Structure 1
């Protein structure tokens, strides 16, 4: 099946389609991870984006029922060099092609992804349209012009849970080939779901939290009431997609939580929303940071950690006026982690839960527990 691709800088080409047919629009981002494509594809933070994998061989280990970071795929689609139809892994249940069909998303292969990665690196996160229905460059161009843009569309409202729920699953246990069960938690934690990854919830349970997940639009007053009654001991602000500055109401609610001196941990989008809540506006990076091999230095112990990243926006240097910078990204020297002065609040830009990616930053969850 043929797919037709148009990029907003007027590049047009054809490719081979797999997964679901149709017409899809989104922003191009490249991911440098060598493994973990299922976790990457199912990360809600990729809502509204096409993931260009720099790893040329994708589909090798198939897909399974355990490695999803969410129940749905919110990414616009994936773009790869070579699709492996014949997968090989003892945990695999389906092929990548079948996985995308099930979740209603398109994939395209036989693409010069090296060219696309360089294009994104040089020109930034360009918007694109991929279609098995429209074949004319002019048709594609017109359809793309009508599609929503990342910078002014609330993807968080689409990916967040619609009602509260309790998460009782711990981390994956290789020995028993299953997830650890939750133990009696020592602290109760309210998670605000802006697009939370399941393995972040697993890690929170594993360190001893009783985890209750709330929709993105939960009112601060409700959480403050629960905190005062001793029904929760802290709040976690999750990762998620899109431009943080447009989430005006969410930023206002976070400001109220901070002023109530509730212990807070923010990751990725949560980290960015905290910065905005303190009056320090985030900015959009040229092409973001996406992958499982990004070096970050912990400025407090001088140890370099290899981390998983997935973000297009970052916090400004001026945040040091109200927060101590605890981590920096060694690829771009940008702020990666902070501890707020006079507040029980810490936040990091990277994804310390290691799914997919290394395990070197998982201590953040225990550090938050100790903060309480």
Structure 2
């Protein structure tokens, strides 16, 4: 481990120790309150452009393995942890977290007061930061941070989306047999890849849906033609990173799909894109929702579900003009799910695939299947 220097948008300058990749990186800092699942978080493409502060004090203790990868790589800028455990102990471990971070160019920062950082973000909001193992002069770090583009100015979807279409056939992972199930499917959809997570695909397949993942820039006309020809039954809009308001091409394609009255389901960024395509722009939360312990009320059933969440943006209350609210966050009463009144379209802000996190919202995938 070597010294790493950190400079934050609010003027804070800190020194810590580094593991993982070396170099200099700029991004937005957020905190995640999940107690487990650091590998799933690190490999979630929705964190592209961000530094993730873990509130769980010890990270790295169970190592990493190919089974728990949520995507083809790791796209966050870095992670900040109180204590990094470099000697993992778990029968499923194939490599230490340090090796995974190095392979994908992600910085690891440890021996730092993550409780202080979490309180700072909670009170002041998510902010830009720079971390470097090469530059240790405060003024130089400040200069570089001020010159760098902000996360809301960068389209990270172009980095995380697939280049070529592919079919996903695996279902849920069976912890008893250590294998993925091969469910029978009776419906077919295409899934726009804005940064899709592997376990979302697993849950869609488990629900009985054959999924073809397509690049984010796939023309809507191609999808509409396949729907009208009976080749597919619907469209899924995936999770993804960054500010949805800069995704003008994705907005236009979503509007065309809505005009064709194709059944659609969106999660996280997909949920936000459906709102924007209907004319209701999203807004940024102060520090976002990131963790595996967020209580959400199912308005229709009157029940409470503990959910996994990862988003900095939210849909507005005015969306109720065209959609019925199905889910509400009990931390701050923000909208967590909707069903559109005049269209076969539904979406949720939280992550019902729960990877990591609880599985209480997995029924939503079956609801999409039934809508199809």
**TM value normalised by structure 1:** 0.99
Mapped partners of 1:159, 1:142: distance in 2: 28
Please state how far the C-alpha of 1:96 moved relative to its aligned partner: 1.1
- SS of 2:172's partner is strand
Q: Deviations over 1:155-194 (max 9, x none)?
A: 111110111111111111011112112x342000100000
Q: Deviations over 1:79-111 (max 9, x none)?
A: 000011121111001111111112111101000
Paired residue for 2:235?
Answer: 235
Consecutive unaligned residues of structure 1, counting only runs of 5 or more, are: none
Task: Please tell me whether residue 119 in structure 1 is matched to residue 117 in structure 2.
Answer: no
Paired residue for 1:155?
Answer: 156
Q: Deviations over 1:300-349 (max 9, x none)?
A: 00110000000000000000000000100000100000000110000000
Task: Note the aligned Cα RMSD (angstroms).
Answer: 0.7
Please state how far the C-alpha of 1:48 moved relative to its aligned partner: 0.2
Mapped partners of 2:148, 2:52: distance in 1: 18
Task: Please tell me whether residue 69 in structure 1 is matched to residue 93 in structure 2.
Answer: no
Mapped partners of 1:245, 1:360: distance in 2: 30
Mapped partners of 2:63, 2:317: distance in 1: 42
Paired residue for 2:97?
Answer: 96
Mapped partners of 1:103, 1:276: distance in 2: 32
Mapped partners of 1:100, 1:179: distance in 2: 26
Identify the range of structure 1 (249-258 vs 276-285) with the bigger mean alpha-carbon deviation: 249-258
- SS of 1:66's partner is helix
Mapped partners of 2:217, 2:149: distance in 1: 21
Task: Please tell me whether residue 330 in structure 1 is matched to residue 330 in structure 2.
Answer: yes
Identify the range of structure 1 (256-265 vs 314-323) with the bigger mean alpha-carbon deviation: 256-265
- SS of 1:271's partner is helix
**Shift >3 Å, 4+ stretches:** none
Please state how far the C-alpha of 1:285 moved relative to its aligned partner: 0.5
Mapped partners of 2:254, 2:29: distance in 1: 30
Paired residue for 2:133?
Answer: 132
Identify the range of structure 1 (311-320 vs 144-153) with the bigger mean alpha-carbon deviation: 144-153
Please state how far the C-alpha of 1:148 moved relative to its aligned partner: 2.0
What is the 5 A alignment of 1:71-90?
A: 71-90=72-91
Please state how far the C-alpha of 1:354 moved relative to its aligned partner: 1.0
Please state how far the C-alpha of 1:144 moved relative to its aligned partner: 1.1
Q: Deviations over 1:187-238 (max 9, x none)?
A: 0010000000011011111111111001111111110000011111000000
Paired residue for 1:225?
Answer: 225
Paired residue for 2:289?
Answer: 289
Paired residue for 1:370?
Answer: 370
Identify the range of structure 1 (96-105 vs 193-202) with the bigger mean alpha-carbon deviation: 96-105
What is the 5 A alignment of 1:16-95?
A: 16-95=17-96
Paired residue for 1:212?
Answer: 212
Mapped partners of 1:125, 1:110: distance in 2: 21
Q: Deviations over 1:243-270 (max 9, x none)?
A: 0011111111111111111100000000
Mapped partners of 2:319, 2:220: distance in 1: 23
- SS of 1:280's partner is coil
Paired residue for 2:272?
Answer: 272
Mapped partners of 1:17, 1:47: distance in 2: 20
Consecutive unaligned residues of structure 2, counting only runs of 5 or more, are: none
Mapped partners of 2:153, 2:82: distance in 1: 31
Please state how far the C-alpha of 1:12 moved relative to its aligned partner: 0.4
